[in-house]
Amino acid sequence: MLIVLGAGLAALIALYHARRSFRYSRDILERVRKLQDDNRRSSERVMDLMDRIRDVSDRARELMDRSASLADRLRDVLVRTEDLPAGAVPPAGVMTVAERGAARSWDALVTLRYVEAIKLLGSANRTERLGGIYALERIMRESEEDHAAVVQVLAAHVRHEAPAPGPEEAVDMAHEHVQAALTVIGRRPGREERFSIDLARTDLRGAFLVDARLDGALLDSARLERANMVGARLGRAFLVGAALDGAFLVDARLEGAHLVGARLERAHLVGARLDRAVLAGAFLERALLAGARLNGAHLEGADLRNADLDGADLSQAVGLRAEQLAAAVLLPSTRLPDELAGDERVMARVAECGRLRGMMTPLVDGRAVAALE
């Protein structure tokens, strides 16, 4: 009996150790598998890294080849002054070593000045900001290559510092540094430009922009009430939805400008050139348009109530209706499209406005004309 019990106990002990060994072996096996997986992932990462290194090496080799090619070309182009005979002049378009060194020094100097000007522009000190603006202007005038960058930086500065306010938000007039940036933009050198000056949705109320060069500028939804823009050049500018109430635009050039839905109430547009301008839906109530030119201008739905059209040329205006003219201030000097000049309502309005101006305007050949002396 004891022998049987001893054998059974020995069997249980053996089974316990066998199971323990099995679990231990299984744990070891799982660890081995995990290590194998980790090694496999590490190998994959190493392979990926090697592929990237090969790509970088290929790119570096390509750049070295290009550099070598460029160096060969430069060696062919550059002429060393010491190799030239005394008094000899290098061929046209070929730079000497001294000239090329001077050019590199100039480029480095311009870059340094540009970086310093940008730092000043971002300063909290008003005087330093002004210094940065005028430093950028000097760079723009001296370096044609930096012309576009400087103009765009200044425009971005205006957009950041003078965003258009909400309908109920009251904002002070443009800060001095904003006006300075606008002045520099407006008097920039006349060079070919392949970009538009983006001043859309800015608050430029009361800004001084006399004779400013803003052809093709983006001024959509800009606030320009009471701005002084006498003689400004705004040809092909985008002023869609802009507020120009009370603005001074005497003799301004607005040929082809986009003024859809713009507000020009009581604006001073005497002598302005608005040929081919798009004024559809614009508000021109009580605007002064004496002597203005609107040949080819689109006036569909424009509000012309009490707009002074004395001497204005609308003979080739597009989309104009008799009802619009009947609400405007018309005089015999106003040039109208032939199909509207003989309209009874228009003629009656000319006669009425003439009487209000102290003029006698009898009808001759069915049209209202000035009295003959």
Residues 315 and 247 in one domain: yes
Residues 186 and 306 in one domain: no
Whole-number pLDDT of residue 369: 43
Whole-number pLDDT of residue 362: 45
Residue 259: CB atoms within 10 A of its CB come to: 29
Checking if the pLDDT of 256 tops 90, the result is yes
Which residues does 263 contact at the CB level (< 8 Å), separation at least 6?
242, 243, 244, 245, 282, 283
Residues 183 and 118 in one domain: yes
Q: Is the model more confident about 194 or about 30?
A: 194
Domain CATH for 243? 2.160.20.80
Residues 127 and 154 in one domain: yes
Whole-number pLDDT of residue 208: 97
Q: Average pLDDT over the chain, rounded to whole?
A: 81
First to last CA, the chain: 157
pLDDT digits (tens, 9 = 90+) for 265-293: 999 999 999 999 999 999 999 999 999 99
pLDDT digits (tens, 9 = 90+) for 98-150: 555 555 555 666 678 888 989 899 888 999 999 999 999 999 998 899 999 99
pLDDT digits (tens, 9 = 90+) for 225-241: 999 999 999 999 999 99
| Cβ proximity of 242 and 261 under 8 Å | no
| Mean pLDDT lowest among 63-67, 192-196, 338-342 | 63-67
What's the average model confidence in pLDDT over 246-259?
Answer: 98
Whole-number pLDDT of residue 175: 79
Checking if the pLDDT of 9 tops 70, the result is no
Helix axes 126-142, 147-161, angle to 10 degrees: 150
* pLDDT interval class at 358 (50, 70, 90): confident
The span from the CA of 78 to the CA of 95, in Å, is 6
Residues 253 and 131 in one domain: no
CA atoms within 13 A on the CB side of 293: 10
The answer to whether residue 94 sits within a structural domain is no
Rounded to a whole number of angstroms, the CA Rg of the chain reads 39
The answer to whether residue 127 sits within a structural domain is yes
Checking if the pLDDT of 360 tops 50, the result is no
The answer to whether residue 96 sits within a structural domain is no
The answer to whether residue 27 sits within a structural domain is no
Residues 317 and 342 in one domain: yes
What's the average model confidence in pLDDT over 28-34?
Answer: 65
Which residues does 118 contact at the CB level (< 8 Å), separation at least 6?
132, 136, 153
The answer to whether residue 275 sits within a structural domain is yes
Torsion of CA 185, 186, 188, 190, to 10 degrees: 130
pLDDT digits (tens, 9 = 90+) for 316-326: 999 999 999 99
The span from the CA of 307 to the CA of 285, in Å, is 5
Residues 185 and 231 in one domain: no
Whole-number pLDDT of residue 35: 60
The answer to whether residue 16 sits within a structural domain is no
Residues 224 and 141 in one domain: no
Residues 248 and 316 in one domain: yes
The answer to whether residue 335 sits within a structural domain is yes
* pLDDT interval class at 22 (50, 70, 90): low
Residues 180 and 220 in one domain: no
Residues 123 and 254 in one domain: no
Checking if the pLDDT of 49 tops 60, the result is no
| Cβ proximity of 189 and 166 under 8 Å | no
| Mean pLDDT lowest among 29-33, 247-251, 324-328, 348-352 | 29-33
Tokens 């009370």, located at residue: 246
Q: Among 190, 187, 189, which Cα is nearest to 179's?
A: 187
The span from the CA of 364 to the CA of 373, in Å, is 14
Q: How many domains does the chain have?
A: 2
Whole-number pLDDT of residue 163: 95
* pLDDT interval class at 30 (50, 70, 90): confident
The answer to whether residue 358 sits within a structural domain is yes
What's the average model confidence in pLDDT over 49-55?
Answer: 57
Q: What is the pTM of this model?
A: 0.69
Long-range residue pairs from 138-141, CB within 8 A, at least 24 positions apart, any chain: 139/110, 139/113, 139/114, 140/184, 140/188, 140/189, 141/189
The span from the CA of 242 to the CA of 199, in Å, is 11
Q: How would you write the chain as a 3-class SS string?
A: CHHHHHHHHHHHHHHHHHHHHHHHHHHHHHHHHHHHHHHHHHHHHHHHHHHHHHHHHHHHHHHHHHHHHHHHHHHHHCECHHHCCCCCCCCCCCCEHHHHHHHHHHHHHHHHHHHHHHHHHCCCCHHHHHHHHHHHHHHHHHCHHHHHHHHHHHHHHHHHHCECCCCCCCCCCCCHHHHHHHHHHHCCCCCCCCCCCECCCEECCCCECCCCECCCCECCCCECCCCECCCCECCCCECCCCECCCCECCCCECCCCECCCCECCCCECCCCECCCCECCCCECCCCECCCCECCCCECCCCECCCCECCCCECCCCECCCHHHHHCCECCCCCECCHHHHCCHHHHHHHHHHHHHCCCCCCEECCEECCCCC
What's the average model confidence in pLDDT over 300-315?
Answer: 97
Q: Among 110, 113, 111, 194, which Cα is nearest to 152's?
A: 194
Checking if the pLDDT of 185 tops 70, the result is yes
Range of the domain at 373: 196-373
Residues 200 and 296 in one domain: yes
